[in-house]
Amino acid sequence: METILKFMIVISLLAFVESTCTNNNTDQKFLFKAFSSVSNFNTSWFSSSPYDSSNCTNITQINLSSKNLTGALSWHFLTNLSHLHTVDLSNNSLTGSIPPLFWSIPTLVKVNLSKNRLGGTLGSEPASVSSIQALNLSKNRKRRMARLNKWAISKPTIYHHHPPFKMEKSGPFNFETESGSSWVADIKEPSSAPVVMFEKPLMNLTFKDLIAATSHFGKDSLLAEGRCGPVYRAVLPGELHVAIKVLEQARDVDHDDCVGLFEDLSRLKHPNLLPICGYCIAGKEKLVLCEFMATGDLHRWLHELPTGEPNVEDWTTDTWQHPSDGENPLNLSSPNKVEWRTRHRIAVGIARGLAYLHHARSKPVVHGHLVPSNILLTDSLEPRIADFWVSRDRVVGSAETDVYCFGVVVFELLTGQPSSDEMVGRVRRLVREARGIDALDSRLRLGGDSVSEMVEGLRVGYLCTAEIPGKRPTMQQVLGMLKDIHPMTME
């Protein structure tokens, strides 16, 4: 009997150990995915015997200093480690850039990435970096700490059932933006306006949850104030990072008409579109939810980020050193901006998305305001057209107008100059005079057939910006011409 009792105790202990290891196994999977492309990483460093209960906890520390690690991490997998507070990867040869999302890990306290070969985006101002108390990024390829714009580092508010601010019990609810404008959700109970999520229909969210996730639609969560209204960043349950857009121009649209419109738009799915993933109608205010794109938009990438290569001579930077007055306030580097292939791939992606809007249905979906600030970029610089739903509640042009706007975007990509009537007129004149090469962005790296390809790209933009709308090509034709310029572009 005593032997049986001992055996049962052992079995129960093993079962307890196995259950406590579940979260650790999940953490290990994410950790191994993060280091899957890093040479000399050894999974045994984080593997333990299932019978050793002392190791069956969530991963809280990554201490891999001086391990001869080389390559680039997939940083986004680390955001799934819910108890991670220390990361020390110093004195290795890690490369690549760190996405802003990494700095939003709420439990992160200490980070040491010094003595590596990291470049691009390395960090942000101390006040904006979640709860980090100790940070060392010295002796990397970047000369100084990167100071990101608000789109990149606006601190998302993690959803709480009990928000850290006083919420009014009854409406109307008034929200003020940085510009001094305001918008009002004229409802009595914030929980009376449901949030509809197309891909996650079982999520039980209301306008009250959106208030909590944005700190009462506070200025810290405000990303921008666009032509359609303010845009906020939030993190919903399940670590769902979203941008919330208030459609000011849709206030007079009937409730049922809006529901039908949003449901119809949710069916438009294409890799180069940024569709709405949900909506909320609070009184007359219509809010749409989209995936948050941390890289920002094409305008910022093309016109605001410096092109120069990181300075590799200065290895003495301080950890919290900021740019001096007069320097670019972003202080980021985007070396791939000088590559014609990168800009060509972006142009092709935009053309694909716009061609889908124009030709996927019997009646074209007109964007109405295609500009670089409405074209968002993924981490791999794949473009996604946003705000195509704004035009659906009013008449804002035609497919030919979209083609013209696309031609202007092509001119911007090839000249590096912001759009204006003067810029368009100058480039069109140079193309007519067979002097397109004089319009090319001097930052573009030349070589091989790149010059002739870029000049051919200007000709495509010239056709798109024809003064007579009927002479402009369709987006299907434009896409074909762009792909013919460089057939190696992958579908």
Cα separation, 292 vs 242, whole angstroms: 4
**Percentage of the chain modeled with pLDDT above 90:** 37
**DSSP conformation letters of 395-454:** ----HHHHHHHHHHHHHHHHH-----HHHHHHHHHHHHTT-GGGGS-TTSPP-TTHHHHH
Query: By C-alpha distance, which of 120, 62, 126 is closest to 92?
Result: 62
Residue 200 structure tokens: 């996650």
> What is residue 16's predicted lDDT score, i.e. its pLDDT?
34
> What is residue 338's predicted lDDT score, i.e. its pLDDT?
78
Q: What is the CA radius of gyration of the chain?
A: 26
CB atoms within 10 A of CB 78: 22
> What is residue 430's predicted lDDT score, i.e. its pLDDT?
97
Cα separation, 110 vs 386, whole angstroms: 36
Cα separation, 353 vs 369, whole angstroms: 14
Q: Where are the beta strands (DSSP E) in 117-273?
A: 134-136, 173-176, 182-185, 194-197, 205-206, 222-226, 229-236, 240-246
Cα separation, 287 vs 409, whole angstroms: 28
From first to last of its 491 residues, what are the pLDDT tens digits of the chain?
Answer: 555 555 444 444 333 333 334 455 788 888 888 898 888 898 888 865 433 334 556 889 999 999 989 888 888 888 888 889 999 999 998 887 787 778 778 888 888 988 888 865 454 433 344 467 788 877 776 533 333 444 444 445 555 454 545 555 677 899 988 778 889 999 999 989 999 999 887 888 999 999 988 888 988 888 888 777 899 999 888 788 899 999 988 888 899 999 998 998 888 899 999 988 999 999 999 999 999 988 889 998 888 765 544 333 333 333 333 333 333 333 344 556 778 999 999 999 999 999 999 999 888 999 988 999 999 999 889 999 998 866 555 556 799 999 999 999 999 999 999 999 999 999 999 999 999 999 999 888 777 678 999 999 999 999 999 999 999 999 999 999 999 998 754 44
Residue 74 structure tokens: 């997939």
* DSSP-derived secondary structure letter, 174: E
Is the separation of the CB atoms in 20 and 57 below 8 Å? yes
Query: By C-alpha distance, which of 232, 140, 138 is closest to 183?
Result: 232
Cβ partners under 8 Å of residue 77, min gap 6:
30, 31, 33, 34
> What is residue 389's predicted lDDT score, i.e. its pLDDT?
67
3-class DSSP state of 47: coil
Is the separation of the CB atoms in 34 and 77 below 8 Å? yes
Cα separation, 51 vs 68, whole angstroms: 30
> What is residue 346's predicted lDDT score, i.e. its pLDDT?
96
Which string of b and e fits 322-343 if b means at least 16 CB within 10 Å? Answer: eeeeeeeebbbbbbebbebebb
| CA angle in degrees (0–180, nearest 5) for 306-89-28 | 115
φ and ψ of 336, to 5 deg: -70, -5
CB atoms within 10 A of CB 192: 13
Is the separation of the CB atoms in 108 and 131 below 8 Å? yes
The answer, as to whether pTM is greater than 0.75, is no
> What is residue 149's predicted lDDT score, i.e. its pLDDT?
46
Cα separation, 120 vs 94, whole angstroms: 13
Q: Taking the alpha carbons of 491, 342, 484, 358 in that order, is the dihedral positive or negative?
A: positive
> What is residue 86's predicted lDDT score, i.e. its pLDDT?
92
| Residue that has been written with the tokens 């042009």 in this structure | 397
**CA dist 270 → 181, 195, 201, 369, 404 (Å):** 34, 23, 21, 19, 22
> What is residue 349's predicted lDDT score, i.e. its pLDDT?
96
> What is residue 220's predicted lDDT score, i.e. its pLDDT?
81
> What is residue 311's predicted lDDT score, i.e. its pLDDT?
38
> What is residue 3's predicted lDDT score, i.e. its pLDDT?
55
